[in-house]
Chain A
């Protein structure tokens, strides 16, 4: 399959007064799977529909393989989409659904039938070709929708929250299938979701959107380990956001006093005296005995969630959320404890 690059240059989309996408520029690398992640109403689906040609950009340009497709209608773009509701044509059988796009570009009958069958085989739906969509389970319908999209060998494959109508168990299975299929075909894929776990699990790159702009983009690991804003820190995984003061400066190295604990952090940008830092809950450790560089705290909530314990403690820097894998020797409510911090789990936020 073709490996194509998709590029947004200063793209804006307005619906009357509301701005759905605000001056976005980004690149979707050829042959990769990029996820657009964000809360509802952040503009992620609109961005996807702009690529599909279902919406027209108000300003800016969209390129597919260096061809400006900004003004091209959906019909004429070499882009396929898997819809959230699947949008299978209910009056057509499975094979009719899959071959629909080929028929529209006048592919001869033997060829489109053969291609459709091959694609159905690829998604594991051979022998279902005569069924009507209403006679399939949710997961099977989803695979028909995927088959219908990839049979056209599009330059770009789009997914609009494809798993949201499946139950939790099936969701993991299907997302692995999608990733596997994408790797096999090597097609540039853009995937929209609001589920951060899903995004981290399948993507080469994640673009986090908030309020119509890109909040941050990067590899899943980078996003988790180095969130730039409190929004990203909170949206991807859990984070404790704490305000703190810079005490010493030495080029890129800063010393902070964090509730009595001295810590060293480094940053490429020039920091103000007061900064916010994000602490991942699993990088905070609770201990019974006082040691160096520790802080007194009190357990004010402890809940057992199966594979770990979740605590909320009150300390001199405020309430902190902590996750601990220790489930046997756990701490009790109102117990007086101490906490220590792993310096690698601390990120300085830009906002």
Chain B
């Protein structure tokens, strides 16, 4: 214990006395700051305080070293725990207070200027500040543990404390910052009137489309889009699920594979494919003109195109939700119904369908949330049809550059999504008929009644063919001059994007235009996957195995970032992290962090699901065998959670490779990402290159998924692998 305390005091001191306190231009890991070291530019807090007259940094040393007095005190005394708690809180609070008060132009608030006079300016916090801050967090959690929280377990209290701090900093703080921007006037003050002026806007709430030819407000557009896409993707998802579970359809495997594909597809690739097929010069449009003399038009741009693309994109998600629902309807209930003289159709209508109803509603809400948060498809296919997510983007990026408008729109979108999320979480989450009894359900699901079967086949099969066609096009579209116009074989798109040249004097040259963004994307995805999985699994462990006050709030907070649309994350990160104390826009780090906290909830979900499969007696057995909670986590939980870890790693990797909505705001010249590069190509109508890039991404992802699976490996449970009785415990 003493060793732990000493090491943290040392870490904090290293941050305070030695390492650069402020951000270093090229990042900590480039050694530039060592080569050009000077107290002024790269000094530690102490050095900077004297070299740059930043004297306000000096008091930090007091709470940092205060715990040294604890060395003679006993662990479980009031004095010991209070010393740690108060030093930690004091240090942490002071660190942030000074950070927010003094910025790049000196005092941030006039009040302080008049009180204390002029001060020197300061930049964003660097590695030194981060380490010192971590030490303060440790002091707080160690003090709380010493006070007896959670059985005095340092690992558990420390983990909970760290996760709370991280989530507050990277989820709640940016959102809060964004809210404050919604009230900001052009002059810089914050007033309610600014918000209401921007909020009561015809462009947002107008209902012109009902009575005239003008478009409706962006909120109504968004809601219409959400409802339509949620409805169609739920129906199709249910169709797929019924087809797989309840019929003996021959090509089940093919459909399953097909249904996974959209998950690893970069977002607007589907939109792109739709344009190439149905756009003005698209293949289908040209065919229709040739065959039936139908004038090609721009009908696909707008609601029809978005709806079509979103349905293609979200059906697999809804399918994955609904297949669980369909499978979990207990066959014994349906068999009971059959023995009570119900026909197939009656069984389906009176038993199966009502039992699935909560699951179906759940899938609908998920589709709705996904649709509202979608950015790629409306951007590519929207035309004049504005929705919230794209409007936010244009408010910040476009010529209008109106931060307040962006913030107001973001607040509206966030409220809509959070409302749906709460509805889904609170109301439907509990209203479930699925019961796990532990008794084996050995019944057989009855086949679908014929009318339902025919309906299912007749929608699903054409739909699958269409999906298949789109993917074939993505794969082969890169090899022709221009799809739909000139189908001569060519490699020019590949050469332009991914060419490599060898020059004897300069070695290998990555001359393709896509290499830069491709390598950044790949590295960001690789770096963000492990922390995502780690935080997710750790959170899941804390939530399932430990009881503590505020656990529900803790769970809600960690799950929340999943419901927040990427566009909002992007905007709020820009608002929050482009000024000190945390200054990291246009770095690679901000990309990694945004991915970690956006995808973490999936890690949590995967972890919770897997933890619930593990007999809690396993942890208890480990604890009674002298293992600490950390050792138990490392030796028992982690090895048994390998499948969940793989799932979380793959998911966060794939999401990082394909995300667009959040990162479109965060990319920079040095750190461009594949998706924003593709978007740039699309804007120039350079479809060939976009297709080539998309198919390379898909292949890369498939390959990496394979590597992750090989690296992490499977858990080995003996000859009869995955003998479930062990994980569940053979209770009664």
Residues of chain A whose beta carbon lies under 8 Å from any beta carbon of chain B: 52-54, 56, 71, 73-77, 79-81, 83-91, 100-101, 104-105, 131-135, 148-149, 152, 164-165
Residue of B nearest to A98 (CB): B625
B726 touches A84 (CB 8 A): no
The 7 A-B residue pairs with the shortest CB-CB distance in the complex, in nearest-first order:
A132-B718, A85-B729, A101-B625, A87-B617, A87-B621, A90-B726, A134-B723
Contact partner of A135 among B620, B635, B719, B731, CB < 8 A? B719
A100 touches B148 (CB 8 A): no
In the complex, A5 Cα to B726 Cα: how many Å? 34
Q: Does B622 contact A (CB under 8 A)?
A: yes
- CB neighbours (8 Å) of A80 from chain B are 624-625
A104 touches B625 (CB 8 A): yes
Q: Does B615 contact A (CB under 8 A)?
A: yes
In the complex, A52 Cα to B617 Cα: how many Å? 12
Between A and B, 18 residue pairs with Cβ closer than 8 Å are A52-B624, A53-B623, A53-B624, A56-B151, A73-B152, A73-B153, A75-B626, A75-B627, A84-B617, A84-B731, A85-B615, A89-B618, A91-B639, A91-B640, A101-B627, A134-B718, A134-B726, A149-B624
B636 touches A89 (CB 8 A): yes
Residue of A nearest to B617 (CB): A87
A85 touches B617 (CB 8 A): yes
Q: Does B462 contact A (CB under 8 A)?
A: no
In the complex, A86 Cα to B152 Cα: how many Å? 27
B624 touches A133 (CB 8 A): no
A132 touches B717 (CB 8 A): yes
Given A132-B719, A134-B719: A73 touches B621 (CB 8 Å cut-off): no
Q: Does B727 contact A (CB under 8 A)?
A: yes
B723 touches A90 (CB 8 A): yes
Residue of A nearest to B636 (CB): A89
Q: Which of B702-732 contact A (CB under 8 A)?
A: 715-720, 723, 726-727, 729-732
Apart from A54-B624, A134-B717, A149-B624, 13 more pairs, CB < 8 Å:
A53-B623, A71-B148, A75-B626, A80-B624, A81-B621, A83-B620, A83-B621, A84-B729, A85-B731, A101-B627, A134-B719, A134-B723, A135-B719
- CB neighbours (8 Å) of A100 from chain B are 622, 625, 627, 635
A91 touches B625 (CB 8 A): no
B715 touches A91 (CB 8 A): yes
Q: Does B631 contact A (CB under 8 A)?
A: yes
B730 touches A85 (CB 8 A): yes
In the complex, A56 Cα to B152 Cα: how many Å? 12
For the complex formed, measure the closest distance between the CB of B474 and the CB atoms of chain A, giving whole angstroms. 41
Give the number of residues in B that approach A within 8 Å (Cβ atoms).
Answer: 35
- CB neighbours (8 Å) of A79 from chain B are 624
B623 touches A54 (CB 8 A): yes
- CB neighbours (8 Å) of B629 from chain A are 75
Given A132-B717, A134-B719, A134-B720: A89 touches B622 (CB 8 Å cut-off): yes
- CB neighbours (8 Å) of A81 from chain B are 620-621, 624
In the complex, A70 Cα to B281 Cα: how many Å? 79
- CB neighbours (8 Å) of A164 from chain B are 732
- CB neighbours (8 Å) of A87 from chain B are 615, 617-618, 620-621, 729
In the complex, A183 Cα to B687 Cα: how many Å? 82
A73 touches B731 (CB 8 A): no
In the complex, A71 Cα to B75 Cα: how many Å? 14
Given A85-B617, A131-B718: A74 touches B624 (CB 8 Å cut-off): yes
A75 touches B623 (CB 8 A): yes
Q: Does B490 contact A (CB under 8 A)?
A: no
Q: Which of B517-551 contact A (CB under 8 A)?
A: none
In the complex, A76 Cα to B151 Cα: how many Å? 11
Q: Which of B210-265 contact A (CB under 8 A)?
A: none
B626 touches A152 (CB 8 A): yes
In the complex, A279 Cα to B615 Cα: how many Å? 44
B151 touches A133 (CB 8 A): no
In the complex, A88 Cα to B718 Cα: how many Å? 13
Interface string of B124-154 (1 = CB under 8 A from A): 0000000000000000000000001001110
- CB neighbours (8 Å) of A165 from chain B are 730
- CB neighbours (8 Å) of A88 from chain B are 621, 726
For the complex formed, measure the closest distance between the CB of B732 and the CB atoms of chain A, giving whole angstroms. 7
Q: Does B628 contact A (CB under 8 A)?
A: yes
In the complex, A69 Cα to B617 Cα: how many Å? 21
- CB neighbours (8 Å) of B621 from chain A are 81, 83, 87-89, 148
- CB neighbours (8 Å) of B727 from chain A are 90
In the complex, A89 Cα to B637 Cα: how many Å? 10
- CB neighbours (8 Å) of A75 from chain B are 623, 626-629
- CB neighbours (8 Å) of A73 from chain B are 151-153, 623
B615 touches A104 (CB 8 A): no
Residue of B nearest to A100 (CB): B625
In the complex, A77 Cα to B623 Cα: how many Å? 10
For the complex formed, measure the closest distance between the CB of B566 and the CB atoms of chain A, giving whole angstroms. 37
- CB neighbours (8 Å) of A54 from chain B are 620, 623-624
For the complex formed, measure the closest distance between the CB of A290 and the CB atoms of chain B, giving whole angstroms. 51
- CB neighbours (8 Å) of A148 from chain B are 621, 625
- CB neighbours (8 Å) of B623 from chain A are 53-54, 73-75
For the complex formed, measure the closest distance between the CB of A31 and the CB atoms of chain B, giving whole angstroms. 21
Q: Which of B621-658 contact A (CB under 8 A)?
A: 621-629, 631, 635-636, 639-640
- CB neighbours (8 Å) of A77 from chain B are 624
Residue of A nearest to B716 (CB): A91
For the complex formed, measure the closest distance between the CB of B626 and the CB atoms of chain A, giving whole angstroms. 4
In the complex, A325 Cα to B454 Cα: how many Å? 70
- CB neighbours (8 Å) of A71 from chain B are 148
A133 touches B726 (CB 8 A): yes
For the complex formed, measure the closest distance between the CB of B334 and the CB atoms of chain A, giving whole angstroms. 31
In the complex, A52 Cα to B148 Cα: how many Å? 18
Residue of A nearest to B151 (CB): A73
Residue of A nearest to B76 (CB): A71
- CB neighbours (8 Å) of A85 from chain B are 615, 617, 729-731
Interface string of B321-352 (1 = CB under 8 A from A): 00000000000000000000000000000000
For the complex formed, measure the closest distance between the CB of A187 and the CB atoms of chain B, giving whole angstroms. 15
In the complex, A71 Cα to B149 Cα: how many Å? 12
Residue of A nearest to B725 (CB): A134
In the complex, A75 Cα to B623 Cα: how many Å? 5
In the complex, A150 Cα to B717 Cα: how many Å? 24
Residue of B nearest to A81 (CB): B624
Contact partner of B620 among A74, A76, A149, CB < 8 A? A74
- CB neighbours (8 Å) of A84 from chain B are 617, 729, 731
- CB neighbours (8 Å) of A134 from chain B are 717-720, 723, 726
For the complex formed, measure the closest distance between the CB of A105 and the CB atoms of chain B, giving whole angstroms. 5
- CB neighbours (8 Å) of A76 from chain B are 626
- CB neighbours (8 Å) of B720 from chain A are 134-135
Residue of A nearest to B728 (CB): A85
- CB neighbours (8 Å) of B640 from chain A are 90-91
Contact partner of A152 among B148, B625, B628, CB < 8 A? B625
For the complex formed, measure the closest distance between the CB of B60 and the CB atoms of chain A, giving whole angstroms. 34
- CB neighbours (8 Å) of B729 from chain A are 84-85, 87
In the complex, A53 Cα to B622 Cα: how many Å? 12
For the complex formed, measure the closest distance between the CB of A277 and the CB atoms of chain B, giving whole angstroms. 36
Residue of A nearest to B721 (CB): A134
A104 touches B624 (CB 8 A): no
In the complex, A186 Cα to B717 Cα: how many Å? 35
- CB neighbours (8 Å) of B624 from chain A are 52-54, 74, 77, 79-81, 149
- CB neighbours (8 Å) of B717 from chain A are 90-91, 132-134
In the complex, A73 Cα to B619 Cα: how many Å? 13
- CB neighbours (8 Å) of A56 from chain B are 151
In the complex, A148 Cα to B626 Cα: how many Å? 12
In the complex, A63 Cα to B451 Cα: how many Å? 71
- CB neighbours (8 Å) of B628 from chain A are 75, 104
Residue of B nearest to A54 (CB): B620
Residue of A nearest to B726 (CB): A90
- CB neighbours (8 Å) of A52 from chain B are 620, 624
In the complex, A189 Cα to B636 Cα: how many Å? 27
Residue of B nearest to A161 (CB): B732
A133 touches B620 (CB 8 A): no
Residue of B nearest to A151 (CB): B625
